[in-house]
Chain A
Amino acid sequence: MNSTNRKSGLSLIEIMLSLAIFAIILLPVFMTFSSGNKNIMITETEFRAHTAALEIMEQIISLPFELIPVGKFSSRQIKSDDPENPSPIPFNVTANSSFQPELEITPVKKNDKVRFKKISVIMKFPAAKTDKRERKIELKTLVANEEI
C-alpha cells in the first residue's frame, strides 16, 4: 500500500468522533421517550392518590352532621382500627401502604353554634415507584349544618 491510499481512508479517531456526535444527538431523543413513560406513571400515582383522598372525604361527608368527628387524625389512626381513635365512627379505607393520609376537621362557629365543619384531607405519596420524593395533594370542603 502506498501513502496516498492510506490518507484517503477514515482514521479510527474520526470514526469514534463521529459516533460520539451521533450518540449525543440521539440521547435527547431517547430521553424524551423515557420521560413520556415516566409522566404516565406519575399521572397514574396521582390518580390513585386522588381516588384514595376522595374515599376518605366522601365517607365523612356521608355521615349525619353531628357525627362528623372534630380534630386531627394521623395516617395510623385512619388506616387501622386504632383503639385510641377518638372518633365514634371507624374509618373504612381501602388498604394502600404507599399513601399517607392525614385528616383535619375544624368546626366553624357563629353565635356559639357550629354552622359548618371544614374538612381537609392531605394525601402524601411517593412521586413514583423509583422516585422516593414525597408529593402531596390536598382536598378541602365545607359541610353545612342543615338543622340551623
Chain B
Amino acid sequence: MKKSEKNAFTLVEILVVCAVVSVFLASAITLFSNFRQGFTRSESSAILLQDAALFLAQLRNDLNNAVLDTSLTNSEIEQQFSVTPKQLNFKAYDNREGAVLPVIYRLSGKEGNASLWRKIGNRAEKELIKSNVASLTWQTEIESFSGKASGTVRLCLNINCILQTQRAQEKPFEIRTRIFPARLNRQLNNK
C-alpha cells in the first residue's frame, strides 16, 4: 500500500497536467486555424491577381489590334465599337487567321459573382474569369483637342474592375485603368 501510494499521480498533479496540455492545445489550434485562414486569403488574392492580369493582358492585346472598317458610314462605325454594360464588341485584326474578326467580351451570371467570356470570330467562347467578377464597367472616352492639335481625337476604354471570390474572405481586388487602342486611334485621325 505504501509503495503504490508513492508511485501514483495525485489528483492535483493530473489536473495541472490537464490544464497545461489544454492551454497548449488551445493555442496550437488557434494558431493553426489562423494560419489556415491567412493562407486561404492569400491564395484567393493570388487567384484574383492572376484573373485580372490575364483579362487585362488579353483585352489590351485585342484592343491594340482593334481596327475600324472605314468603308462604312459614321453611324455604322459607331456600331463597330459598341459598349453596353454587359457586352463589349469591336473588330480586331487576328494574326492567326490573317483577317479582321469580331471580338466579343461578355459578362454573364448573377450580379456580384459574374463570369467574363471572350469570343473571337467563329472560335469557341472562352471563360476568362470564372464567377469572380464583383463588378466590371467599361466606358469609351473620346478626347478632342484644341489649338495646334485641333481636329485630333483620342479614344480610350476606361475600365474599372472589382474582383472577389465567392467565399469573399479576402480583400476585393480593384483595378482602374485606361486602355488606348493605338491602331484604331491612328485610323480615326487619318480619316
Encoded as 1 (CB less than 8 Å from any B CB) or 0, chain A from 11 to 30 comes to 00000000000000000001
Q: Is A51 engaged at the interface, CB distance under 8 Å to the other chain?
A: yes
Q: Is B42 engaged at the interface, CB distance under 8 Å to the other chain?
A: yes
A89 to B147, CA, bound (A): 9
Question: Which of A52, A63, A90 is the one whose CB lies under 8 Å from B177?
Answer: A52
Interface segment among A36-44, A74-82, A106-114, A120-128: the answer is: A36-44
Say whether B39 contacts A62, CB under 8 Å.
no
Number of interface residues of A (CB under 8 A): 29
Say whether B154 contacts A37, CB under 8 Å.
no
Chain B interface, >50% SS class:
helix
Within 8 A of A (CB), among B162-191: 173, 175-182, 185-186, 189
Q: Is A83 engaged at the interface, CB distance under 8 Å to the other chain?
A: no
Say whether A62 contacts B177, CB under 8 Å.
no
Q: Is B152 engaged at the interface, CB distance under 8 Å to the other chain?
A: yes
Say whether A58 contacts B189, CB under 8 Å.
no
Q: Is A145 engaged at the interface, CB distance under 8 Å to the other chain?
A: no
Residues of B within 8 A of A30 (CB): 35
A54 to B178, CA, bound (A): 9
A13 to B183, CA, bound (A): 75
Chain A interface, >50% SS class:
helix
Say whether B182 contacts A62, CB under 8 Å.
yes
Residues of A within 8 A of B181 (CB): 62
Within 8 A of A (CB), among B133-182: 141, 143, 145, 147-149, 152, 154-156, 173, 175-182
A30 to B35, CA, bound (A): 9
Question: Which of B45, B64, B147, B154 is the one whose CB lies under 8 Å from A44?
Answer: B45
The CB with the most chain B CB atoms within 10 A, among A33, A58, A67, A89, is that of A58
CB distance from B75 to the nearest CB of A (A): 23
Q: Is B100 engaged at the interface, CB distance under 8 Å to the other chain?
A: no
Say whether B35 contacts A33, CB under 8 Å.
yes
